[in-house]
């Protein structure tokens, strides 16, 4: 059967977006025939096992116009006769007056190619992220006169202008977003509050077997049994790793711990340099980006998960980080900050521990407390495990998403 639904992504596959991959595969298992359009080719050297299960064909758009000028020109000549093209062009000109960047023109070029190469059978565009992928879908939907919707997350919401958010929202069938804070903000900009739905991504717990090892009783007093701290996240500003390193450096010298970081990112070398300057580099393992099977093994070997998320100066922030749910699924206590959607998952001192963002002193106090108190860690871990299974199963979110997609596809294409 030809695809009825197109998934629009910034990049595919990506190690940092396991929640997107699990959602795509879940939709396939629910009976949707899909195709994937990606704005760029993958740059991660590895993939997760779930990527091998996804059956949808993938179309890669030219990342830059100069990458394939003939393809862009061919698409323009093919779609310029469509009535929707001129409406899309007027929209671009209006947008370009407010955002005079080459990036705006680049997205329109990608939209031309997507509208031209989209299979005729596709009836709806479903887009992840409200910034650049949504721009492509926004223009392409006007050209092709197909409906579209979007799943909004974090940076894509908080770092683009309100005028752009409002106009994209107005043109969509609906929007789903992964935190209550996001929903509140987007609802104020939407045509109607009902247009925006809270949808937690959740986890496919069949892929996250419960940790089998006995609970660790390490308390940092024995050099031979260091308390193993772990964090999984890209080395970018909003993850707050600079504050974590500062906090680790102020822990008592007699406290024995080791910190494992998993993830790539533009600030990785800078953080490694900071660790050297603070004199704690010998206690840190920088493992880079890893496939999910190896990440799970690291969760199971750890005693405490730490994610010191913060709001950056440009407004970028985490939504509800999937890595926190992953860690909780492995009976691992979590220490994080009380921003964005994190308190929707972690109830302070009940299912995890929360501190103020950008507060190294408070973070250091929490680290010392949790390192020294294995009984507290294990109590938080068990409570977090119970709550994440009860409240954050992927199936609940997929049920909601299937209903939304069926509404947009119409009776003739409903699953």
- The 3-state DSSP class for residue 104 equals helix
Alpha carbons 164 and 171: distance in angstroms, whole number: 11
Quick one: tokens of 203?
């986890």
Query: Are the CB atoms for 107 and 132 separated by under 8 Å?
Result: yes
Alpha carbons 119 and 111: distance in angstroms, whole number: 14
Quick one: tokens of 386?
């119970």
Verify cis geometry, omega within 30 degrees of 0, for the bond prior to 13. Answer: yes
CA angle 101, 107, 113 (to 5 degrees): 145
Torsion angle of C-alpha atoms 264, 326, 155, 4, degrees rounded to 10:
110
For every one of its 415 residues, what pLDDT tens digit does the chain have, with 9 covering 90 and above?
788 999 999 999 998 888 999 999 999 999 999 999 999 998 878 888 899 999 999 999 999 999 999 999 999 999 999 889 999 999 999 999 999 999 999 999 999 999 999 999 999 999 999 999 999 999 999 999 999 999 999 889 999 999 999 999 999 999 999 999 999 999 999 988 899 999 998 898 888 776 666 678 999 999 999 999 999 999 999 999 999 999 999 999 999 999 999 999 999 999 999 999 999 999 999 999 998 889 999 999 999 999 999 999 999 999 999 999 999 999 999 999 999 999 999 999 999 999 999 999 999 999 999 999 999 999 999 999 999 999 999 988 999 999 999 999 986 666 6
Strand pairing category for 196-198 and 304-307: unpaired
Listing DSSP states for 93-156 in one string gives HHHHHH---HHHHHHHHHHHHHHHHS-TT--EEEEE-TTHHHHHHHHHHHHHT-EEEEEE-SHH
CA angle 271, 273, 278 (to 5 degrees): 95
pLDDT tens-place string over residues 342-392:
999 999 999 999 999 999 999 999 999 999 999 999 999 999 999 999 999
Alpha carbons 68 and 82: distance in angstroms, whole number: 22
Q: Which of 6, 276, 9 is nearest to 124 (CA)?
A: 6
Question: Which domains does the chain show, CATH number per domain?
Answer: 5-202+393-413 (3.40.50.2000), 207-391 (3.40.50.2000)
**Pure H helices in 145-222:** 155-158, 162-171, 180-189
């Amino acid at each position: 059967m030809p695809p009825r639904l197109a998934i629009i992504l910034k990049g595919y596959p990506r190690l940092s977006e396991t929640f997107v991959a699990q959602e795509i595969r879940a939709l396939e298992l629910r009976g949707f025939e899909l195709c994937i359009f990606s704005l760029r080719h993958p740059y991660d050297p590895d993939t997760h096992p779930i990527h091998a299960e996804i059956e949808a064909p993938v179309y890669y758009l030219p990342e830059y116009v100069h990458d394939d000028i003939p393809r862009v020109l061919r698409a323009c000549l093919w779609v310029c006769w469509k009535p929707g093209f001129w409406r899309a062009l007027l929209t671009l000109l209006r947008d370009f007056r407010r955002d005079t960047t080459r990036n705006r023109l680049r997205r329109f070029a990608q939209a031309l190619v997507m509208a031209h190469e989209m299979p005729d059978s596709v009836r709806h565009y479903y887009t992840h992220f409200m910034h650049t992928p949504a721009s492509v879908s926004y223009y392409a939907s006007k050209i092709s006169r197909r409906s579209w919707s979007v799943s909004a997350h974090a940076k894509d919401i908080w770092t683009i202008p309100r005028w752009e958010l409002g106009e994209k929202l107005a043109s969509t069938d609906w929007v789903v977003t992964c935190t209550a804070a996001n929903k509140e903000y987007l609802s104020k900009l939407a045509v109607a509050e009902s247009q925006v739905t809270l949808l937690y991504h959740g986890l496919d717990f069949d892929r996250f077997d419960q940790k089998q090892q006995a609970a660790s009783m390490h308390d940092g007093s024995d050099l031979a049994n260091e308390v193993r701290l772990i964090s999984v996240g890209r080395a970018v500003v909003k993850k707050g790793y600079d504050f974590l390193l500062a906090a680790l450096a102020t822990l008592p010298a007699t406290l024995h711990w080791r910190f494992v970081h998993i993830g790539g990112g533009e600030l990785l070398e800078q953080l490694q340099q900071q660790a050297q300057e603070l004199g704690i580099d010998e206690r840190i393992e920088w493992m880079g980006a890893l496939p999910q099977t190896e990440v799970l093994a690291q969760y199971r070997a750890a005693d405490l998960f730490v994610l010191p998320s913060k709001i950056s100066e440009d407004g970028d922030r985490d939504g509800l980080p999937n890595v926190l749910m992953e860690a909780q699924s492995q009976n691992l206590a979590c220490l994080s900050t009380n921003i964005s959607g994190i308190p929707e998952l972690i109830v302070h001192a009940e299912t995890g521990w929360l501190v103020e963002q950008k507060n190294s002193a408070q973070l250091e106090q929490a680290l010392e407390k949790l390192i020294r108190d294995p009984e507290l860690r294990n109590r938080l871990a068990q409570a977090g495990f119970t709550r994440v299974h009860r409240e954050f199963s992927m199936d609940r979110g997929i049920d909601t998403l299937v209903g939304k997609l069926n509404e947009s596809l119409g009776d003739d294409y409903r699953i």
